[in-house]
Structure 1
Amino acid sequence: MNSLSEFKNSLTFASAPNNLSPQLLSLWYDGKGDWKKAHDQVDHLSDKDSAWVHAYLHRKEGDLWNADYWYARAKKIRPNISLENEWSDLVLQFL
């Protein structure tokens, strides 16, 4: 998978494409509307990339305190962009 459009198209599949990183798998589940499965993919991971996705998920959930904690773990600042734009930015980052 090489582009955002390919990734978005994969959201029509019943199951996730093979060989997605944990971060992309999380974003795939989020794109499918399954926040819990998305969260489960990164909740137990401690690397910066997973923390960034984790932060986005808590921002989406509306738990900004928790989101800011994870943004800090990712060495990022909560962005002032739409959730849709952040999701796209994250997918592009990890493709």
Structure 2
Amino acid sequence: MTYAEFLASQTQPAPPTGLSPLLLALWHAGRDEWHQAHDIAQDNEHDPLQNWLHAFLHRQEGDLGNAAYWYRRAGRPVFTGTLRREWEELARTQLPA
């Protein structure tokens, strides 16, 4: 699946089958389904990319202190761009153009 296909899938009522946990969480986050995305992130805290996702979700929620904790766990600086830009960067780590 390409980034464009993933983006287009967000208009569908259900996520595409076979998505990795990270992409599934991003699919939900991109639809403002925060709780579903957060549940997935919490189940995968062993992975630095999931920790970045977790940071993004707390930033999306507006809990910047908690987001900072997860950025540290991910080994990443706090993202300073827009939420949309960060969502795109996370998705593009997993999907070809």
TM-score of the pair, normalised by structure 1 = 0.93
* Aligned AA (1:52): W
Identity %: 44
Distance 1:82 1:32 in 2: 16
Q: How far 1:12 sits from its partner (Å)? A: 1.1
The equivalences for 1:1-95 within 5 A come to 1-2=1-2, 4-46=3-45, 47-95=47-95
CA RMSD, aligned part only?
0.9
Q: How many residues align?
A: 94
- Any idea what SS the aligned residue of 1:94 has? coil
- Could you list the runs of 5+ residues in structure 2 that have no partner in the other structure? none
The one-letter code of the counterpart of 1:40 is: D
- Separation of aligned partners in 1, 2:6 and 2:77: 25
- 1:7 Cα deviation (Å)? 0.9
TM-superposed deviation, 1:66: 0.5
Runs of 4 or more above 6 Å deviation:
none
Give the TM-score normalised by structure 2: 0.92
